[in-house]
Structure 1
Amino acid sequence: MLRHFLFAGLISTAAGFAYADGSAACGKLFLNSTPPNLVTAQGRTQQLCLNSYAVLSNTTLRAPHWSAERLTGDAVMSARQLARDSDFYEEPRLPPSGRAALADFARSGYDRGHLAPSGDFADKAGQAESFSLANVVPQDPASNRRLWSHIETATRRLARQHGVVYVVTGAVYGPAPLRLRDRVAVPRYLWKAIAIPNAGAAAYIARNDGKLLYSVVSIEELARFAGVDPFPALSRSARQTAIDLPPPTPHPGEKTGRLAPLGALTKAESAGEAEATRFQDSPATRFVMAVAALHF
């Protein structure tokens, strides 16, 4: 199962990258000014450079591959004083046919999950930029509000502890992803890679579901799994060795996430898919669906 997701569903094309909005200015957001490397691409991609983060959007999937930030302890402390009052918006710098629309998420059952979270940004302008749908994936509500939020909190704690960290957050869609309204791809996994200058790097990986399972892997293992190298400038030894990352930080009264090897994480997803298939194919389910069809 693990091998199935190596370079998960990414198909080589000759399209390459299209850059917009002063891509050279993105350098400050990347470790050693080197952008993440997308090994192969399913369709066309377009990089956007915003003031506080950079994002690589896939206009075929109508969803992002990754968002990158230079996260500082000072920014985290300032962000804690900001009320979240921004609105999601469609990204005007992407072509209309290749971007997510607000209507895609309506009554979908999925949250609009940030890759670069609004809670990382120190001012209103940065926070507002984070609500671009170019920075958003369809995310399971339990994941968005629990485990993934806990991982974001743990990442901010690292920024406060070390002063500066580089963060790249991304999605793995798989070979034939579910789509909202046959348009916006839904990721199977989310990941967050963190590089601490002069200390090393590692990444969290979690499934896009309500389970409290997550893995911590080296950057080399993440690149094999997701098809994205978030920190190409890392030394070979730093790529091969995962530093210790703190456990996800739960909100008061919430359960903590459970650390699992990556193989167990993918195996658990496979078991869940099999159970869902058995349920969908059961006689009782087919009967309920047939009765419901009579009323629509």
Structure 2
Amino acid sequence: MSQRKMLQLSAGVLLFLLPWFGGLVSGELSYNFSQCLDFFYKETPPKGFHAAGYQSICQRYKNQYRFASLYHRQHRAPLYSAYRLSPTDGKRPRTSWMYEPQLVFSHASPEMEPFHIPVDQNVIDSQAVLLDYKNSNYTKGHLNPSMHQGTEEDREATFTLTNIIPQRAGSNSGPWNRLENEVLRKFKAFCNGSMYVITGAMPYTSGARWINNRVSVPEYIWSAYCCPSYSTSLPKSVKSFFPSYAAVGRNDRDSGEEIVPVNVRMKASMRGYDVRRMSVETLEGILKQRLAVTISLFQGECQ
């Protein structure tokens, strides 16, 4: 039996144990991303502790799957988004923000849709809406950034609130933005095939923080990539970045420095939003410590 079929037939080992996650819904929202496994290295989602409470969304736009997100309705935010990086051929799109109909009704269309005005109360009850971010002092932080997507439609698809976390502006337009550009440059210069990226949110251990008493705010943002086929003549300065690498970024300038140290020489508006580069193994160790589960982000450690 193929690996794809085994994943489709099994509820599987779900990814991370977050005790504040609630129940699953039916429809195309599933346990195992069975409709969009292509966005994961070797068609295998990250492995961790089996637990109910995750809603796996195959993010579909204009009749095509664009990426995958693990979402929680009660906290109205994704745990992570997974995608294949493509070199962009255009600018940030001017597009409407969208929502996920299946989070409203389990048998609704699997296509993301633009918000309607006024917003239906069932949509408000099921997921984040634009009003949640108004006057919140947080930006809408993409886990799958539009600049990591090649076509205009793929970039437009990233503008769904099921791909968004509350992110401080100093992080979003500062160190985290520089990391996203750095990953894109490495892909273009050295990656010969697909680059699989997983970017996620790390909750506070001292209890959830909220905007508008509705949307969970992460303390850190993390990202990891796997590029299994890369240049055989890597410069010495980048050899440690292949085939995989990872990073953790601060989303709270008042957090401790045990995970990500603070560079006091950084520009004041960005100070405290530092990003620490690290191996995927180190990131998995941090996630294990924070979430109390064993994590494997890429099948076979991307070897």
Q: TM-score, normalised by structure 2?
A: 0.66
Partner of 1:221, secondary structure, is helix
Gaps of 5+ in 2: 1-14, 60-64, 105-122, 230-241, 253-269
Partner of 1:154, secondary structure, is helix
Which of residues 166, 188, 193 in structure 2 aligns to 1:138? Answer: 166
CA offsets, 1:109-168, max 9 Å, x none?
100010000111222221121010000000001110111111110111122121321100
Which of residues 244, 260, 265 in structure 2 aligns to 1:201? Answer: 244
After superposing on structure 2, the runs of 4+ consecutive aligned residues of structure 1 that deviate more than 4 Å are: 12-19
Q: CA RMSD in A?
A: 2.8
Alpha carbons of structure 1 residues 106 and 172: separation in structure 2 relative to 1, 3 Å = same
Which of residues 210, 230, 233 in structure 1 aligns to 2:299? Answer: 233
Which of residues 204, 208, 213 in structure 2 aligns to 1:174? Answer: 204
Is 2:79 aligned against 1:65? yes
Alignment of 1:47-58 (within 5 A): 47-50=56-59, 51-58=65-72
Q: How far did 1:87 drift?
A: 2.4
- Tell me the matched-pair count: 225
Is 2:32 aligned against 1:36? no
Is 2:87 aligned against 1:76? yes
Quick check: 1:201–1:218 contact (8 Å CA) kept in 2?
yes
Quick check: 2:88–2:147 contact (8 Å CA) kept in 1?
no
Alpha carbons of structure 1 residues 232 and 195: separation in structure 2 relative to 1, 3 Å = closer
CA distance in 2, matches of 1:125, 1:17: 27
CA offsets, 1:66-118, max 9 Å, x none?
000111xxx3142xx23421222232222333311111001111000100001
Structure 2 partner of 1:218: 279
Which of residues 72, 97, 112 in structure 1 aligns to 2:140? Answer: 112
Partner of 2:198, secondary structure, is strand
Gaps of 5+ in 1: 1-6, 240-296
Structure 1 partner of 2:215: 184
The amino acid across from 1:168 in the alignment is I
The amino acid across from 2:283 in the alignment is L
CA distance in 1, matches of 2:282, 2:297: 12
Structure that is richer in helix per residue: 1
Quick check: 1:29–1:166 contact (8 Å CA) kept in 2?
yes
Q: TM-score, normalised by structure 1?
A: 0.68
